[in-house]
Chain A
């Protein structure tokens, strides 16, 4: 299967859910942009349909563009060797607030670790099911307990001190 055929199959399978279909990396990789609320449906289709077969999630990362968070899922189909980038974006309600995104850990279980990391560092709640759970806080497993704020956000201000240690070099 080459990239033109994959493009055709994706357009047939996802038709109205696609916001943008572009070729990246000198035209060798296809990127599909969908709405965040559809991500689970699209992910299930990409994994289960035998003619697509994207059963491996190679990487997942979050990036911040202005106020929006861009979620990128790097997929691979082991049978055909094709790669695909699935993208969605979410916007937090206010700059300090928690953003909410559907979790894909039921489709690709290896996403769980990376989702937890992004949740802590970007302040995103990844919810299972159809609607966001009433979760107000994110459990800390990478940052020390009691840490305030989300360090990877652009608006993040470094702490003055943490647990009694001044966050400044001596003599400055």
Chain B
């Protein structure tokens, strides 16, 4: 059954600081995301959503609990069972609220670097990059510097990069916060499409109530705890 799960977390807990300043940012977060499934994570600011996402993304290990990616136990508490950096490169794509791109590279290079870091030849990486940018509708901006791109274009380039190495997991933290509702919706639908087409498990942290029907499952987070997922049709109803 694990083969079908893109992401599985078991009892993730994160404690920041110690003693008086101790903050429990996340407690006992247990979530399962199938391949091709897109889930939304809702919740007020400070609920622990980013903490959860960065734990799953292997950039901020939990204090305790386990993270499995594609059925492989990757994090057991703070202990890494694989080489995290190369594992991230191969299996995880990230999109954040802003500042996703390297400013001294063009749109194309921002995507291409991810492919080349994973060993693709410059020629193949370039071809694949142009396909991705085409797919995301920003091919005409390929040679522009990142500062020349609008917020929406930047997010789409970041999504192209997240998709570049065909990851089994895509994590997005408020990717539409900087976009208007029309653009925001487009981006959300894009996630849905790539999840279904590329067979990736996608977790999107969002505040945007209007786009919820795009998601397969919706989780809510409050005070570090995640409620059981609800199917999105019920939530909308």
A and B assemble together: no
B residues touching A (Cβ–Cβ < 8 Å)?
Answer: none
A residues touching B (Cβ–Cβ < 8 Å)?
Answer: none
